[in-house]
Amino acid sequence: MALFKKTKSPTQDKQDKKDFFTTDLLANVNKLKEAFCYPANNALKLRNLHLPCYKKDITLLFVEGTVDTNLIDTHVVKPLLEEKTDSSIQESALITSLIKSVLTTANAKEVKTIQDAAKDMVNGNTVIIIENLDAAISVETTGFEKRSIAEPTAETVIKGPKAAFIESAATNRSLIRNLIRDPKLMTETVTIGERAPQPVSVMYMQGLADSKTIEKVKNRIQEIKTDIVLTLSNLEQHIEERPYSIFPSTLTTERPDRAASFLMEGHIVLVMENSPDVLIVPVTFWSLFHTVEDQYLRMPYGNFIRMIRLLSLLIALFTPALYIAITTFHAEMLPTDLMLAIAATREKMPFPVIMEIIIMEVTFEILREAGVRVPSTLGPTIGIVGALILGQAAVEANIVSPSLVIVVAVTGLASFTIPDVSLNIAIRMLRFVLLLAANFLGFFGMSIFLGFFIAYFVSIKSFGVPFFAPLSPHFPSSKDMLIRPPVWKQWLRPFSMSPKDQTRASKPEGNAES
């Protein structure tokens, strides 16, 4: 099978070769210019200086738009020009002396190759090349533009914190650390991308998260072989275990408090630059079904809202299929008056029920997509006005029956209560499959489909964790699934996550009831 063996391109071979700095200042500068295609690429900026103390010429190089020039002036240029150290210091110790005693930035390091210097520069570092030295100094002067912390747009709550992640990985990590002020909160970095490397922060609680799961996640990330991974959404598709499954094996959240709560249960959080959210692994169905506000509301209120959400999920999944099954195969189940009323509305309908409902469902999906894509000020208007006008026009034109419009409207409204985007889309896709099953064999067809679906649903896993755990298979847990118990009863972490510390609080004594 040598014919299909993957070979490296000439560009990759060139990138693999290490080009070391020499003692020739001009040659080193020219090599970095060549790496950035200067002067065609005018993003590369240079500044030549002379160090009077050491009697040496130096060149500062950085990439425009990635650095904070005030940091360069204050913590790099000014200390270098004002340095009064004895000029008799040996050249071999000069770089170490500058890093330890002169430069006042948070991070500075020695680099030996042109490739390492170029990688640091595209990440916001300033590289200092010194005359007669075969190494350079890479100084952290990052200054990428970023927006300020704002409220969540997708996971809004009435009670609870109002901060959301932004496109800065450092800011996102600090938001999590602000909630979990524990030295055991670990952050490891895995770099991906062969042409444009991107760091991925793997965050977990030392002493809680399962070591095997941590290694599995890191190995899955390291196995990615591609030029660039831009965001966490792209990373998710690279590391997911079931790319053809409609159910996700990861969870995305824009809320720091939600990420922190998952960390404290033994989950792993992935943070990446340019992503206004974080990725959580492993996940279960309950992770996708719950919202962060469930924990902020009092138990009776939270459970009431959760039951409404469960009812809405069932309505969104089954209502159109039940309508087809009953009106086509099992009309005897309806009261006589209701059956006659539905039959009367369908006398002039030119299409069978399945065609009517598919037309309305597809139209509703188009309206939903249009409301998302148009400017935010027009989105709600298009959704409401479009639904009213199209629904009324379809009924008056005898294309669909009034009862069917009600069914589709209730189904669409119920689907909006599903909190996770991926789960929402999965339910909508399953609804169409159920429609076809109900159209062929009525309740019997629905039962066959549900049997296969449940068997598949309980068999899938997310990074080794059963998707329907801790209900099936059963694991000891805090019982926070359909109904949330009082907080003082949630003393166990979910055993399905294999946490090293299985308890989060002391076991309650007695049988106190709320």
- For 147-184, how does the pLDDT look when each residue is reduced to its tens digit (9 = 90+)? 888 888 888 888 888 899 999 999 999 999 999 998 89
Q: Which residue has the tokens 């210097």?
A: 117
Helix (H) or strand (E) holding 455: helix 421-457
**Which pLDDT score, from 0 to 100, does residue 92 have?**
73
Nearest Cα residue to 264 out of 508, 499, 507: 499
**202 is a domain residue:** yes
One domain for residues 411 and 332: yes
Indicate if 235 and 310 belong to the same structural domain. Answer: no
Give 355's contacts (C-beta < 8 A, 6+ positions apart): none
Helix axes 402-415, 421-457, angle to 10 degrees: 100
The answer on 338 and 192 residing in a single domain is: no
Contact partners, residue 237, CB within 8 Å, separation at least 6: 243
Task: Find the mean pLDDT for residues 441-446.
Answer: 92
Name the band, by pLDDT with cuts 50, 70 and 90, for residue 204: very high
- Cα 77 from Cα 49, distance rounded (Å): 9
Give how far Cα 324 sits from Cα of 42, 327, 471, Å.
64, 5, 32
Tell me, yes or no, whether 10 lies in a domain.
no
Question: Are both 173 and 233 inside the same structural domain?
Answer: yes
Nearest C-alpha neighbor of 448 from the set 459, 437, 433 = 437
> How confident is the model over 13-59, as pLDDT tens digits?
545 567 899 999 999 999 999 999 988 888 999 999 988 887 889 99
Q: Which residue has the tokens 């990439």?
A: 63
Residue that finishes a domain, picked among 283, 318, 334: 283
Clarify whether residues 312 and 443 are in a common domain.
yes
Largest pairwise CA distance in the chain: 105
The answer on 457 and 353 residing in a single domain is yes
Task: Give one word for 197, left, alpha or beta, with left for phi > 0 and alpha for psi -120 to 50.
Answer: beta
Structural domain contains residue 288:
no
As for how many domains the chain has, the answer is: 3
Instruction: Tell me, yes or no, whether 14 lies in a domain.
Output: no
| Residue 473 domain flag | no
Say whether both 23 and 123 belong to one domain: yes
- Residues 266 and 189 grouped into a single domain: yes
CA distances from 176 to 95, 166, 205, 256, 498 (A): 36, 12, 12, 6, 22
Residue 270 inside a domain? The answer is yes
Q: What is the distance in angstroms between the CA of the first residue and the CA of the last residue of the chain?
A: 68
Helix, strand, or coil (residue 53): coil
Residue 3 has pLDDT above 50, yes or no: no
138 in a domain, yes or no?
Answer: yes
Residue ranges making up the domain that contains 456: 306-462
- Residue 459, classed as helix, strand or coil, is coil
Instruction: State how far the alpha carbon of 109 is from the alpha carbons of 49, 189, 354, in Å.
Output: 20, 18, 68
The pLDDT tens digits of the residues spanning 77-119 come to: 998 888 776 656 777 788 888 888 888 888 899 999 999 999 9
In a domain, 93, yes or no: no
* Dihedral, CA of residue 465, residue 466, residue 469 and residue 475, to nearest 10: -70
- Same domain (yes/no): 188, 64: no
Same domain, 263 and 367: no
Q: Which residues contact 55 (CB under 8 A, 6 or more apart)?
A: 87
340/249 same-domain check: no
Q: What is the total residue count of the chain?
A: 514
Question: Cα-flanking dihedrals φ and ψ of residue 83, to 5°?
Answer: -65, 135
365 and 229 share one domain: no
Angle at 97 between CA 91 and CA 102, to 5 degrees: 125
